[in-house]
Amino acid sequence: MRNLVEHIKILRNAKCEFDVSSSFSHVRWNAYYTTVVFCLPINDFELLNLEDLGFKPPLIQICSELMPSNAGLDVLNVEFYPSLESIEGNDSLHDDLDEIVNNLAEQSSYFSLPDDVME
Whether 9 and 65 map to the same domain: the answer is yes
- For residue 69, give the nearest of 118, 110, 25 by alpha carbon: 25
Split into its structural domains, the chain has a count of 2
pLDDT at 24: 94
Examine the domain organization and report whether 14 and 69 are in the same domain.
yes
Question: Considering Cα of 59, then 62, then 8, then 45, what sign does the dihedral take?
Answer: positive
Show pLDDT as tens, one digit a residue, over the chain (119 residues).
Answer: 557 788 888 888 899 999 999 999 999 999 999 999 999 988 888 888 777 778 889 999 999 999 998 999 999 999 999 987 755 555 566 777 777 777 776 655 555 556 666 56
* Segments forming the whole domain that contains residue 67: 2-83
Closest among 21, 47, 48, 16 to 32, alpha carbons compared: 21
Q: Determine the pLDDT at residue 13.
A: 86
Which pLDDT score is estimated for 114?
62
Question: What's the CA gap between 71 and 63, in Å, rounded?
Answer: 13
State residue 88's pLDDT score: 56
Contact 74, 33 (CB under 8 A): yes
Note whether 72 and 25 are same-domain residues. Answer: yes
State residue 2's pLDDT score. Answer: 58
